[in-house]
Amino acid sequence: MNLGRKILLVLLILLIFIAAGLIITKWSSITRKEAPPGIQEVPQETRSVTLYFVSKDAEGLLYETRDIAVREGVEEQVKAVIEALISGSRDDDKISSIPEGTEILQVFWEEDSRTIFLDFNRVLISHHPGGGTSEYYTINTIVKTIAANFPQVRLLQFLVDGYPVETISGHYAVGKPLDVMRWR
């Protein structure tokens, strides 16, 4: 074997080692970016929010802090917070006062009057268990959650399928916007 062939063989082996090293490096960086099973990846831009739930003994409200993805605009941010509230607490000592199956359809923000309109599906009223205490907690958890996270909101109007409702289950008037700072 002459010297030229030996150099070419050494260069070829060296090139194979370099290519293998690059492939291994690229593959290991891809596998490191994947989250381990059972761990949820949190979007890079998150916001810490306060959600209100009813205590398990129904003696009052308890709050929970949760990180949610940041969305653009007041309406989308409010919708994300209400969706988190509807999804329920992560703590067994807290219960949701919002009927299962309730969805937030749309949120409207009227900046001049500082009013937020929350449009829920009909399940909010059709599947509500009734009773003054239950209705009070439903309204209160929503109002307090909005007040805690959106200081720019002064009034909150409940809508169901796009229309104002007089009451959720017959005990509290919600036909007109509620003052979030004065609600009991």
pLDDT in tens, 123-132: 999 999 999 9
Rounded to two decimals, the pTM is: 0.76
State both tokens at 22: 């690059």
pLDDT tens-digit readout, 138-165: 999 999 999 999 999 999 999 999 999 9
Q: Which residues does residue 170 pair with via DSSP β-bridges, in sequence order?
A: none
Neighbours of 40 (CB within 10 A): 5
The span from the CA of 118 to the CA of 150, in Å, is: 14
pLDDT tens-digit readout, 101-114: 999 999 999 999 99
pLDDT above 90: residue 55: yes
Split at pLDDT 50, 70, 90, the class of 33 is low
